[in-house]
Each structure stands twice: as C-alpha cells, then as structure tokens.
C-alpha cells in the first residue's frame, strides 16, 4: 500500500497535468506522462500509444477548442490510480476528431482514471464521458426530443421495417 506522501505526490502530478491542460500547454501536459504511456477515450474508440500520439491529440484538441478547460475538479486515489471528476468545457472553433467547427460551446461531465507508473508519473489517461451529450451541445447530433431526432428515429424505424439491418460501424 502506498504511503501518504506517495498518494499526495500522485494527486499533485495529476493536478499539474490538469492545470497544464487548462493552460493548453502541450509540453507540460505531455511531461506528466511516463515514457511508455497511453491515452484512451473508450466511448469514441480512441486509443493512443506513446507520447508522440498523445502530443498530436492535444495539438488537435487545443487548436479546435482554444478555450478548453476543466472545471469543478475533484480528485481521489485508490489502488495505484488517481480518479479525476470534472466538467470539460470549451468552444468548438476548429476541426476536431474529423468534425468541422460548429462555433458552439459545451460543458459535459467526465470521469478520468489515471494509473500511476512506478516513476510517479501518469501511465495513462482514460477518459469516460457521455460523448452524445457533447455532440448534442455542439449540434452534431440532434437534441433529445427535437424534431430532428424524431425524424431520424422515424427513418430508422422505416429502414428496419424494410429489412435493413442495424450494423455496428467497424471503422
């Protein structure tokens, strides 16, 4: 079991990481990761390996959402992991993960699990969030209950009645 100073140090490393994200300081953000690291957003099927892929992710994120920030941050430590709960916020002003800019702002809750490596740095950042919530706020997906959503549901029901199969996207 880690001693209390190791726990405090782990949380401080994660706080430094999140502060660097809020400043959109890519070098300081990536510096909090250990050498053999990874970054994942399971809901978006994002799986990055190594500091260079992670650096490119943050470059695209910060270019597309230049006011990206975390708010209402909370931290916990358990079993070699730091957990970070917060809201991610920003304005979508550039192409992000293939999506053209919408000019809209978003604020959505997330929970992040961060395994801590033997050297005290972050082994990984694994982000859990409701991506549909973000995309609805950005206007990429229709809002729940909207006329657009009802039209998509009607088209889907028609497709199913006509013998179409709902195939998962394997891209």
Q: Are 60 and 97 in contact (CB under 8 A)?
A: yes
Specify the pTM.
0.82
Q: Are 4 and 11 in contact (CB under 8 A)?
A: no
Residue 54 has pLDDT above 80, yes or no: yes
pLDDT at 154: 87
More confident residue, 25 or 148: 25
For residues 2 and 8, give the distance between their C-alpha atoms in angstroms, rounded to a whole number: 10
pLDDT at 168: 59
70: which 2 tokens?
A: 């975390």
Task: Kindly state the percentage of the chain with pLDDT values over 90.
Answer: 74
Q: Are 33 and 14 in contact (CB under 8 A)?
A: no
For residues 22 and 62, give the distance between their C-alpha atoms in angstroms, rounded to a whole number: 10
pLDDT at 146: 84
pLDDT at 52: 98
For residues 88 and 22, give the distance between their C-alpha atoms in angstroms, rounded to a whole number: 10
DSSP string, 66-98: TT-EEEEEEEEEETTEEEEEEEEEEE--S-BTT
For residues 53 and 15, give the distance between their C-alpha atoms in angstroms, rounded to a whole number: 22
Report the candidate in 50, 49, 25, 47 with the shortest Cα–Cα distance to residue 35: 50
pLDDT at 82: 97
- Would you place residue 97 in the very low, low, confident or very high pLDDT band (cuts 50, 70, 90)? confident
pLDDT for 110-138, tens place per residue? 999 999 999 999 999 999 999 999 999 99
Report the candidate in 100, 102, 98 with the shortest Cα–Cα distance to residue 90: 102
pLDDT at 48: 98
SS3 47: strand
Residue 1 has pLDDT above 50, yes or no: no
For residues 167 and 127, give the distance between their C-alpha atoms in angstroms, rounded to a whole number: 26
């Amino acid at each position: 079991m880690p001693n209390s100073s190791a726990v405090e140090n782990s949380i401080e490393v994660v706080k430094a990481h999140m502060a660097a994200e809020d400043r959109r300081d890519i070098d300081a953000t990536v510096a909090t990761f250990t050498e053999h690291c990874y970054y994942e957003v399971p809901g978006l099927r994002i799986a990055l390996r190594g500091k260079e892929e992670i650096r490119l992710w943050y470059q695209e994120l910060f270019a597309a959402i230049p006011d990206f920030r975390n708010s209402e941050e909370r931290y916990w430590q358990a079993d070699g992991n730091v957990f970070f709960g917060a809201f991610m916020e920003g304005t979508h002003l550039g192409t992000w993960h293939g999506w053209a800019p919408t000019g809209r702002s978003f604020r959505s809750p997330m929970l992040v699990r961060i395994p801590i490596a033997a050297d005290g740095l972050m082994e990984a950042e694994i982000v859990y969030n409701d991506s549909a919530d973000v995309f609805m706020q950005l206007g990429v997906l229709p809002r729940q209950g909207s006329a657009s959503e009802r039209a998509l549901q009607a088209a889907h029901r028609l497709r199913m009645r006509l013998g179409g199969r709902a195939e998962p996207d394997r891209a």
